[in-house]
Amino acid sequence: MAPQPPSPGPDFIYGTAWKEDRTPALTELALRMGFRAIDTANQRRHYFEEGVGQGLAAAYNAGIVTRDDLFLQTKFTYQPGQDHRLPYDPEASLSIQVAQSMASSLEHLGTGHVDSYVLHGPSSNHDWTDADAEVWEAMRKERDAGRTRLLGVSNVSLRHLQQMATAHAELPAFVQNRCYARLGWDRVVRQFCREHKIVYQGFSLLTANQEVLQHPLIASLTIASLGASANATPAQIVFSFARNIGILPLTGTTNAQHMKQDLAARTLTLPPDAVQAIESVAG
Ligand SMILES: NC(=O)c1ccc[n+]([C@@H]2O[C@H](COP(=O)([O-])OP(=O)(O)OC[C@H]3O[C@@H](n4cnc5c(N)ncnc54)[C@H](OP(=O)(O)O)[C@@H]3O)[C@@H](O)[C@H]2O)c1
């Protein structure tokens, strides 16, 4: 049984990948615009986790938020997913690597605990391996020691999750996956998550689904009839749809206006038949 995220959990997550030197300012801006959940990773190749910590510190100092207002999520990344800037000793066992990576994350983020700790991706695209089992047990120890409240896995297939369920007594609280409309918005993994009370976090909702953003069905829904004061944008329709089918969305927008629009999508109301139509628009 997956431990349940507190209710209400986060309702939109701001992602900090690929922002490099802009990471501190964009993290602070996202908090200023109203985001309360932040996703990062201790993977310097794609994330500047220390910069996220700088953005958090700036927001605390400016009185925008306190640590208690926030949901902070970071990840453990295996060495093949890293460049030379490793947050652990590559010669150490995987269990030690997890502990070292977590200690470094807490230092980067200036906190004593994160809210969610995620395995960035299994060691094999096909199977849940012994290496993954060792890492998962090490992550559980971090949780039991109070350094994270919840655990997650990312970039997983249904097969990974099924094998994980066989190998372990405990399933994750979160799955974080790239969400392709052509795969029914990751239908089979979402179904597994629903059955096991796992919260599904979806990323690349816009970037992986450009054809959907241009679809006439989406265009027809952007007209002001959805409880919004102005016409909704295609991006807002997609985020609203995602929330309607139980996806906790991520956005990595670098634009203040888009941050506002993405958060405003939480108050749009889509008719149930529109939700159904979008769910099968591409697959
Ligand atoms: N677990 C993993 O392996 C993994 C992989 C990828 C991502 N992630 C996480 O997910 C986060 C988000 O990544 P993502 O791939 O979903 O998004 P992303 O790469 O950050 O891209 C979002 C894109 O959508 C645009 N956008 C956002 N809101 C918009 C709006 N309202 N109107 C028009 N365009 C809009 C952005 O453009 P503007 O900047 O111009 O707004 C940007 O081009 C990452 O930062 C990271 O935290 C995790």
Q: pLDDT tens digits for the chain (283 residues)?
A: 566 665 668 999 999 999 999 999 999 999 999 999 999 999 999 999 999 999 999 999 999 999 999 999 999 999 999 999 999 999 999 999 999 999 999 999 999 999 999 999 999 999 999 999 999 999 999 999 999 999 999 999 999 999 999 999 999 999 999 999 999 999 999 999 999 999 999 999 999 999 999 999 998 888 755 555 568 999 999 999 999 999 999 999 999 999 999 999 999 989 999 999 999 988 8
- pTM reported for the whole predicted model: 0.96
Three-state DSSP at 199 gives: strand
Residue 63 token pair? 């009185």
**Separation of alpha carbons 245 and 90, rounded Å:** 40
* Ligand 1 within 6 A of CB of 261: yes
Please give the DSSP secondary-structure letter assigned to residue 104.
H
**Separation of alpha carbons 38 and 56, rounded Å:** 10
DSSP one-letter string for 107-165? HHHT-S-EEEEEE-S-SSSS---HHHHHHHHHHHHHHHTTSEEEEEEES--HHHHHHHH
Query: What is the CA(114)–ligand 1 centre distance, in A?
Result: 22
C-beta of residue 190 within 8 angstroms of C-beta of residue 247 = yes
In testing the pocket of ligand 1, which one of 253, 259, 263, 268 has its CB within 8 Å of the most ligand atoms?
Answer: 253
* Ligand 1 within 6 A of CB of 105: no
**Separation of alpha carbons 62 and 71, rounded Å:** 18
Residue 13 φ/ψ, nearest 5 degrees = -115, 135
**Separation of alpha carbons 254 and 26, rounded Å:** 7
Rg (Cα) of the chain, in Å, rounded?
Answer: 19
Tell which residue, 113, 38, 28, 99, has the closest CA to residue 71: 38
C-beta of residue 282 within 8 angstroms of C-beta of residue 213 = no
Three-state DSSP at 76 gives: strand
* Ligand 1 within 6 A of CB of 235: yes
* Ligand 1 within 6 A of CB of 49: no
| CA–CA distances in Å: residue 201 to residues 22, 101, 128, 256 | 24, 22, 20, 22
